[in-house]
Structure 1
Amino acid sequence: MNCMIKNFLITNILSKNNLSSSIRQLYGRASIGLEDYEKNRQKFTLPNNFREKMIINTQDNNNNRIIFSEDLKLIIHVAQSEDLILVENMMKKFNKQNQYLRFGSYNFGPVVMRMYHYLNRPEEALKIYYDEQLEGFFDQLSSVIILMDLLYENKKYSDIIELYKTFRNKQLSFGKYPKSIMVLIFASCYKLNTAEIFDYAMNIWKEMNDIGLKPLRRITCYIAALALNQNSPHIAIELITTISNHHSVLIRSLKVLAYCAMGRIQDALPILTSVLTYDVPNAVKQIFPQDVIESVKNSIEKYGDRMVKLDFIRIEKQLKEQGYIKNESLDDLLSSEIIIASAINKPRSILKAAFNNDEKNGIRYKTLLRPGLSEIV
């Protein structure tokens, strides 16, 4: 292995060891309706003997007993972990009942998944999603997003990939590549960081491009970072060139790291200096994460060219003095929450369609991107 690449991999800031220390959900709580769900829980109170009554109603020998929509809605909004078996039995009986007994357009799938997310019960949520007795119960795009986000928060990245393989075989109206789900898929591939998952991610990325679906910038950044981790900086460079805006924090940082990994230090340095002359009114300050700069420094030490080293010392000094180096990691940026909130003018949302089109509960979400996040998504 080339010494430069070997050294880069040893000090790689996107290494798997660093990835395992990051624990967070990808979509903010408001984005997937958890904040509203928590507020709604405060409005519900169980009548006396409600649990006992529902246990009786769900028994096999009580086929004449009915689980009404309001019964199910109530238990979902008050459930604790010890109630999950009862909730499961109520859902199954509700789903089994004659369709003519259901009125209105309330979709339980997303709310049930919020319940599991709120209680942090990923195994139970995944089990119920696959349950054949609840076929079609969770066929809303938002149900899948909420479940995947719960799995992501609990580092169950392989489960997310397997869930997607099942999901894409279903003939659902929103197709095989909804952007909000693909972000979670590629984020999971990035976290798994294996040669096999790299091949899988590349195939999916190519499929999307072949049918004319341009992946979000965040998606391309995930797979470019994964390419770096899998000793393929040349692929990372090719992926990055498909993105039109190269002024993003992630794009510049990944490009710098890829050039360093290939031993092309003199191609990396102009990218560092470009932020010093990038002048756009009201634009977010063009920064580099501290660990990217440290990685460049390590590569230059290995490179062994005195003049290049002096150039870098000068550039680093300017970047520090003018506030272009931020004390956070590139992995922090790649793992940044996508925050959605209501009441913002002219929103830009990758979840808007998911929550506007399939819940039918009067909930509307609009995007409020954290400062700097707009150039990551």
Structure 2
Amino acid sequence: MAVASWRSNRALLETVQRSATSGVLLGFRPGCCRWALGGKRYLLTDDIMKLEEFQKAKVAVSYRLNGKKEIYFKDIEEKMKKKGLILKEELKTLLHLCETQDDMELARSAIYRYHAENRNISLGEYKFGPLFIRLCYELNLEQSAVELIKDQHLHGFFSDGTSFNILMNILFIKGNYEGALEILLEMKNQGIKFNKDTYILAFAICYKLNNVNSFNTCMTLLDEAMIKAEILTRRASSFAIALALKQNQVAKARYIYSQIMNPDSKACNNLNILIHAHSDMLKGALKILEESTEKINSSFVKKQEFSEEVLTTVKEKLDGHPALQARFKEICDKLRASGQVIPQTVDAILCVIPQGRKPHIFSFNKRQTSRRTLQSLKLSLVAE
């Protein structure tokens, strides 16, 4: 039995190592979709989600224990019954071994015990929050993550923004925007510092909810960020602009756009046209579109692309202006001829799958042996 388990783990480890060379891990494709079966967009980059690294670590832990998971779980259960201390490495191993909902019940109990024993030792300590949230993501148990992250008895266990960001991202993927907003407000109530990814998630969630309350929440967060002199990313601002336009707050959308330092992106270009159209600045919208057709001959200028949806909005606004309609038709013909009209909606452009900041490149010149042991580095993941 142990030999069969060892061979199974060895085969799985080798699969992971082969997958790493092509950037594919057990159905996960960086820059594509969550799992091969998921096919849904998300907002955080691969180097924040770290699903691939998490999967590799799980395989390595399983390999190291060599099929003794059940024994390990029983040892932890006995230790908890005897009120023994749960050590950091023990909890890490336990979380990496979880594969089912039943496993997670023991993990939850261990987390409560560990936090009760270590609630006052946080400085420089390992952050378990992101690990637990990634585990819930893998097992489709995001409700467990929601319950624990909101539990007052565990305040301090999820002391990092990454845990909240990943959980909001999970809920966003699943279309649970109300739940994601609750986590955002919980993060704020717990005094967890927002980073640039938090603002992207916050404004995207409010944009998806698209109601008066979410608009007010978005604007409040935006005002607070400006007061604190926070630098908002272009992407975060784009969601806020789109929400303002959906709520018919054109002046607010125009103001937010004016604060973007470098609005040279597909989303910003399309939102700028919409701002002009909804502000009845139709000549300005046509001028921007026309200028974009004149820039395509330069190899130094990126070709601007416009959504069919945006052009349709402009066309509708031009109703009753025959001279401008004729000019618009000529411009559209040029845009189509140069391949500058795209079928994606504004929503699709805003929620485009982000590329990770770390390129998934395998170096064939990379050192393959350990300087210390002179053995292959392929098993270093297991050994460590």
Which TM-score applies when normalising by structure 2? 0.75
Match of 2:311 among 293, 309, 312: 293
Contact 2:267-2:350 at 8 Å conserved across structures: yes
Contact residue 295 and residue 303 of structure 2 kept, 8 A: no
Q: Does the aligned pair in 1 maintain the 2:119–2:157 contact within 8 Å?
A: no
User: In the TM superposition, what is the alpha-carbon distance from 1:149 to its structure 2 partner?
Assistant: 1.3
Which residue of 1 is the match for residue 198 of structure 2? 181
Indicate how the Cα distance of structure 1 residues 202 and 308 shifts in structure 2: closer, same or farther if over 3 A, else same. same
- Equivalent of residue 140 in structure 1, options 138, 160, 180: 160
Q: Which stretches in structure 1 are left out of the alignment for 5+ residues?
A: 1-21, 346-377
1-side partners of 2:134 and 2:87: how far apart? 20
- The answer (yes or no) to whether the contact 1:113–1:147 under 8 Å persists in 2 is yes
Q: 4+ residue runs of structure 1 moved beyond 4 angstroms?
A: 98-105, 279-283
Structure 2 residue 329 is matched with structure 1 residue 310: no
The 3 A distance-change label for structure 1 pair 101 and 128 is closer
2:111 counterpart residue number: 91
Q: Which amino acid in structure 2 is aligned with residue 220 of structure 1?
A: S
3-state secondary structure, aligned to 2:86? coil
> Could you tell me how far 1:171 is from its partner in structure 2?
4.5
Unaligned runs of 5+ in 2: 1-38, 362-384
Query: Does the alignment pair 1:338 with 2:354?
Result: yes
1:54-102: CA deviation from partner (whole Å, max 9, x where unpaired)? 333334xx22x33233332222112123221111011111222367999
Q: Hey, what does 2:8 align to over in structure 1? A: none
Distance 2:73 2:229 in 1: 52
Give the corresponding residue for 2:175: 155
- Asked if 1 retains the 8 angstrom alpha-carbon contact of 2:133 and 2:142, the reply is no
1:1-377 equivalence runs, <5 A: 23-45=40-62, 47=68, 48-59=70-81, 62-63=82-83, 65-82=84-101, 83-97=103-117, 105-172=125-192, 175=193, 177-278=194-295, 281-300=299-318, 303-342=319-358
Q: d(CA) in 2 for partners of 1:94 and 1:239?
A: 45
Report % sequence identity.
25
Rg bigger for which structure?
Answer: 2
Question: Over aligned residues, Cα RMSD in angstroms?
Answer: 2.7
Cα distance 1:255–1:99, how it changes in 2: closer, same or farther (>3 A)?
closer
Distance 1:231 1:52, change over 3 A: same
Distance in 1, Cα, partners of 2:93 & 2:360: 31
Q: How many angstroms does 1:262 deviate by?
A: 3.4
Deviations 1:315-365 (A, max 9, x none): 0000011111122221111112333243699xxxxxxxxxxxxxxxxxxxx
Residues 252-282 of structure 1 show CA distances to partners (whole Å, capped at 9, x for unaligned) of: 2112122222333222111211212336655
* Preserved CA contact (<8 Å) 2:150 2:186: no
Whether the 8 Å CA contact 2:137–2:170 is kept in 1: the answer is yes
Quickly say closer, same or farther: Cα 1:29–1:118, change in 2 above 3 A.
farther
Q: State the Cα distance separating 1:129 from its structure 2 match.
A: 0.9
**Contact conserved, 1:122 with 1:154, CA < 8 A, in 2?**
no
For residues 335 and 219 of structure 1, the distance between their equivalents in structure 2, rounded to whole angstroms, comes to: 11
Please give the per-residue CA displacement for 1:296-325, whole angstroms capped at 9, x wherever unaligned.
22332xx22221111111000000111111
Q: What letter corresponds to residue 336 of structure 1 in structure 2?
A: V
Hey, what's the Cα distance between the residues in 1 that align with 2:243 and 2:347?
11
Deviations 1:34-64 (A, max 9, x none): 11101221112251433333333334xx22x
Counterpart residue identity of residue 232, structure 1:
Q
Query: What amino acid is the match of 1:337?
Result: I
Q: 1:342 and 1:262 mapped to 2: Cα distance?
A: 40
Partner of 2:366: none
- Taking the aligned partners of 1:100 and 1:170, their CA distance within structure 2 comes to 16
